[in-house]
A and B are shown apart, each in its own frame.
Chain A
Amino acid sequence: MESVDWGFVLEQTLIQALGLNAAVYAIAAIGLNMHFGYAGLLNFGQAGFVAMGAYGMGIAVNQWGYPVWVAVLMGMLFSVGFAVLLGLPTLRLRADYLAIVTIAAAEIVRLVARSTALRDITRGAEGLNEFIGPFREFNPFNPSATYGIWFVQYRGNTFFAVVIGWTLAALFVLITYLLIRSPWGRVVKAIREDELAARALGKNAYRFKMQALIIGGVMGGFAGMVDAIGKATVQPDFFGAALTFFFWLVLILGGVGRVWAPIAGSILYWGLITFVQNTGRQLVDNGVIRTTIMDTNQIDQIRFWVVGGALALLMVYRPQGIFGSREEMALDAR
């Protein structure tokens, strides 16, 4: 038996690199790009925005029985509300304070969502599972058939979410592109470069930063909604702090401050992770790596080493990422 079935590994890698997860991460990272790449906001709570979108939409269907479009609106509203709550106290503060508060706020969202106190609304640690029905009615694809190109195939229901995901990602890239080229975008970038100078020119830095936080946050919310539609479930522990770090790696891998780079970063990230994981698993299953050294569970942990290592090394040696531009990264607080 061959030690690694490369055909299978390649197939899995491509399926993941172009699949639901990659689309969700790309959308969230486009939002993060708006925050960090253009407005210079150190948002380490993007997972909280994603959770807000997913829960807002899920609860609207589950709890209040709203139609799909209203539910999506609720998801957006939840994200906006979270952005305002988060921005009001912190946007006047130094950048690293924002980092600490956003990471704490995202944890608050997760802890509250999984608490038994809100069990009637959020279904506690079990998460929301019954909201998917109305969304499936819009699915033009046959759930029992598979769709795709070549051997990259997805089941109908997943393919529906994959299509929505990549469409939204493209739309958000376009929106970001137009916004950044607009006068609004130039002010936001000016604030990132030198907030004092921008304020001296009479720009209300606080308001522009808040707007950027809301726009990027709503994009994050859409990432959560796409994820919920694709997986037909909303699990509170999915939105842990680690998720935010993955979005950051996707952003930095692609290149901060390049509108389309998060998409490239997400495809690369999921390709890399899946490749490492599947190759490792096969090496263990086929006895090339003995289980006394590591088992398949431990292979899964290696991906975090890859993520952490890549994040640190990129930040030091190529902070602009693969496709980023150096001048957009002329950012450092203080």
Chain B
Amino acid sequence: MEMPGRPRTAMLFVAAILFFLLPTVAAFAQDSENVATRITVEDETGERVPVEGVAITVTDDQGNEVGAGATDAEGVFMLEVPEAGTYQLLLDDTTLPEGVSLTNSDRNPATVILREGQTGATIFALTSGDAVAAGGGVTLRQIAQLTVEGIKFGLFIAMAAIGLSLIFGTTGLVNFAHGELIGWGMLMAYFFNFYGLAGVFGWMASWPPPFGGGVNVIFAAVIAMVLGGALGWLLDAVIFSKLRARGVGLISQMVVTIGLSLILRYFFLFGFGGSPRFYQDYTAQSAIHIGIIDITPKDLVISGLSVLILIGVGLFLIMTRWGKAMRAVSDNRDLAESSGIDVQKVIRYVWVMGAGLAALGGVFDSLAETVRWDLGFRILLLVFAGVVLGGLGTAFGALVGSVIVGIGIQLSTVWLPTELKNVGALALLALVLIVRPQGLLGRRERVG
């Protein structure tokens, strides 16, 4: 999955983040032809404001200046460097706006090691002088904003969680490779967004998209969902249905999913590389104001789409024959089988649906943040938290649990440092198991 068709120019881009009241994920801007630095300031409403006129000098490892410049009105500084190697980026802190400074001046200049055809990234962490002064009180606006962010993230988790929960419900398998189903969807969307099929089959280059070139991310997401479902089908058809037929125990199957997860994850790193990247469309959007909430249009659209899709899945599970069959098998497999349901076929469909949803969840989450090779594994434990909170094996429990986990993670940043926000969610996971091991919507059963 080496991504060919890239220009062989080594690229260099730097992201700078200003940590204000609400520290955010790094904002990377990327263009396949250029080197880009995007420097933004986040104001107290959480909106990113580009910083113009921050001077940056790039030198190579011999100390020769390769280029210099300043960020433009969009906060972007672009530089193409001639070859792979080690580069130093010096940010002139006298050109930063008043009250904003580098958090750690030892990290300036920052070193970037570039490999051929790959993208190097470094981060300048910036601090606002006001941040300390304003950090005291928690405003209602902040709570509302964090709740919205939490619901958004929770919806993405829920997309993956439903599949995880249903696979557990129907087969009893705890699928540790579910994170890679998320990652697979994200990478496929990125692949079709950037290269199209010509990325694999070079001779297609002259064909129209999606064969020859990249397609809009919306179409790429649809392709990714289909390919995600295909991977789910493949995993069940080639591996897990065979294991069930062989009578391999559930614990052994679980260890198999761990092995599978390692293989897939490092296959992603092999092909994609370690640096985070951005989709080609909708990267830099400014937030719009709705009441006291700020949200970017793309986040609004994908959150809305998630809600629609999740409602659709819910209706499918309640109304249709196959949906009922899935819930029946999940409820009591033997009873379902003896009442004439083709259990193996239902399980196959659960894998396809679950993997497709996970893939789409990955696309949405990476659209809201960045595309990175280990995104799936990063959020896998949060998906588990959502599933366990809602009740292992229940589809609707997974949905509710995930949204609660999402909100909990975001709201915990009011009291916890942002770097520890996932700790809160994982601690919640442990707490739920003590108090109510069957989860919120799970049925009480003997668990020990």
**When the two chains form the complex, which single residue of A108, A195, A319 contacts B252, counting CB atoms closer than 8 Å?**
A319
Q: How far is the CB of B442 from chain A (nearest CB, A)?
A: 12
Scan A305-328; emit 1 where CB is below 8 A from any B CB, else 0.
101111111011001000000000
Taken residue by residue from 234 to 267, chain A's Cβ proximity to chain B (1 for < 8 Å, 0 otherwise) reads as: 0000000110010010001000000000000000
Picked from B250, B256, B385, B448, the residue with its CB within 8 Å of the CB of A93 is B448
Which residues of A have CB within 8 Å of B262?
Answer: 242, 245, 304-305, 307-308, 311
Is A42's CB within 8 Å of the partner chain B?
A: yes
Q: Does A294 contact B (CB under 8 A)?
A: yes
Task: Tell me the A93-110 residues at the B interface (CB within 8 Å).
Answer: 93-97, 99-101, 103-105, 107-108
Query: Measured between C-beta atoms, what is the minimum distance from A212 to chain B in Å?
Result: 15
A301 with B270: CB separation less than 8 A: yes
Task: Give bound CA distance, A288 to B59, whole Å.
Answer: 34
Inter-chain contacts of A116 with B (CB < 8 A): 417, 419
How far is B262's CA from A90's CA once the two chains are assembled, in angstroms? 26
Taking A105-B426, A308-B263 as contacts, is the C-beta distance between A100 and B174 under 8 angstroms?
yes
- Are A316 and B417 touching (Cβ within 8 A)? no
Report A228 CB to chain B, min CB distance, Å. 23
A286 → B minimal CB distance (Å):
19
| In the assembled complex, A334 has its CB within 8 A of some CB on chain B | yes
Contact present for B270 and A248 (CB under 8 Å): no
In the complex, how many residues of chain B place their beta carbon closer than 8 angstroms to a beta carbon of chain A? 47
Contact of A183 with B by CB under 8 A: no
Q: A96-B254, A308-B263, A316-B243 are in contact. Are A101 and B433 (CB under 8 A)?
A: yes
Contacts of A178 in B (CB 8 A): none
A97 — which chain B residues lie within 8 A by C-beta? 388, 433, 437, 447
**B174:A316 contact, CB within 8 angstroms:** no
Q: Are B426 and A104 in contact (CB under 8 A)?
A: yes
Is A89 located at the chain interface by the 8 A CB criterion? yes
Q: Which A residues lie within 8 Å of B255 (CB)? A: 248, 252, 311-312, 315
Tell me if B259 and A309 are in contact (CB < 8 A): yes
The answer, yes or no, to whether A111 is at the interface (CB within 8 Å) is yes
B252 x A332 contact (CB < 8 A) = yes
**Could you tell me how many residues of chain A have their Cβ less than 8 Å away from some Cβ of chain B?**
55
How close is B230's CB to chain A, nearest CB, in angstroms? 20
A146: chain B residues at CB < 8 Å are none
Q: State the majority secondary structure of interface residues on A.
A: helix
The interface residues of chain A lying within 8 Å CB-to-CB of B172 are 334
| A312 touching B430, Cβ below 8 Å | no
- In the complex, what residue of chain A is closest to B4 when comparing beta carbons? A292
Known: A100-B174, A242-B262. Contact between A117 and B420, CB under 8 A?
yes
| Residues of chain B contacted by A242 (CB below 8 angstroms) | 262
Interface pair A93/B174, CB less than 8 Å apart: no
Q: Per-position contact with B for A216-247: 1 when CB-CB < 8 Å, else 0?
A: 00000000000000000000000001100100
Contact B246 A316 (CB under 8 A): yes
Chain B residues, CB < 8 A from A316: 243, 246, 248, 252, 256
Check A115–B417 contact: CB distance below 8 A. yes
Residues of A within 8 A of B (CB): 42, 88-97, 99-101, 103-105, 107-108, 111-112, 114-117, 195, 241-242, 245, 248, 252, 292-295, 297-298, 301-302, 304-305, 307-313, 315-316, 319, 331-334
Can you add 19 more A-B contacts, CB < 8 Å, to A88-B434, A315-B256, A331-B249?
A90-B433, A92-B448, A93-B433, A97-B388, A97-B447, A100-B174, A100-B384, A100-B388, A104-B429, A108-B423, A115-B420, A308-B259, A308-B260, A308-B262, A308-B263, A311-B256, A312-B258, A312-B260, A316-B246
B interface residues, Cβ below 8 angstroms from A: 2, 115, 172, 174, 243, 246, 248-256, 258-267, 269-270, 377, 381, 384-385, 388, 417, 419-420, 422-423, 426-427, 429-431, 433-434, 437, 447-448
Q: List 12 A-B contacts (CB under 8 A).
A: A89-B431, A99-B254, A105-B430, A107-B426, A245-B262, A248-B258, A294-B270, A307-B262, A311-B258, A315-B259, A332-B249, A333-B250
